[in-house]
Amino acid sequence: MIEELLDEAEHKMEMAVEHVVGEFTTVRTGRANPQILHRVMVDYYGQPTPLQQLATFSVPEPRLLVVQPYDKGSMGAIEKAIQSSDLGLNPSNDGTVIRIAFPPLTEERRNELIRLVRHMAEEGRVAIRNVRRHIKSDLEALHGEVSDDDIRRAEKELQDLTDTYVAQIDELLERKETELREV
């Protein structure tokens, strides 16, 4: 029973870290990154459709992203969706592909993005701590069925898991901040 609870905790903590990784990839740095467009929804013939289902992406240069739609008729809708997203990108359409130039970030925008990724990391840490709290209460509910020593050992193992996953988020945050500070 204790092992099941600890396995569940580890799985949920891994999911929290994966979520933070996914959130970090959507934050724009000075470099072109196709994953930044994963949340962009295009009004494709009246249906909101994820952009990655409508086009392929390539990065020919560090600050240039090229979007090549499968259907040339959707080009205007894709361009409009990218412009109306809150990414601050200005696409240009040449009739066959859409080019998105990534301008260098201003110091003010860098600091804004650093605050944003710190907030995302804190949400991930809170999620991990919530998992710990729930599993710990489940462990305490086993008080009559399992010895106190086993519960204490499991709580220590749970705390070690928590520390490990929080450290992973801190490492991811440090890397993302370094990437954002890069000029």
Residues 28-60 pLDDT 10s: 777 777 888 888 899 988 889 998 899 999 988
Instruction: Give the C-alpha separation, 152 to 66, whole Å.
Output: 55
Supply the range of the domain harboring residue 115.
Answer: 2-26+106-181
Per the structure, the count of domains in the chain is 2
- Asked whether residue 64 falls in the same domain as residue 15, the answer is no
For the chain, the maximum distance between any two Cα atoms, rounded to a whole number of angstroms, is 71
Q: How far apart are CA 99 and CA 58, in angstroms?
A: 10
Q: Quote the pLDDT of residue 94.
A: 87
In this structure, are residues 31 and 176 in contact, taking their beta carbons and an 8 Å threshold? no
Q: Examine the fold and report which residue of 69, 101, 133 is the final residue of a domain before the chain moves on.
A: 101
pLDDT band for position 183 (cuts 50, 70, 90): low
Specify whether the CB–CB gap between 33 and 182 falls below 8 A: no
Same domain flag for 39 and 17: no
150 phi/psi in degrees, rounded to 5? -65, -40
Return the CATH number at 155.
1.10.132.20
The arithmetic mean of pLDDT across residues 120-141, rounded, is 95
Query: 71, 101, 131 — which closes off a domain?
Result: 101
Report the CATH number at residue 88. 3.30.1360.40
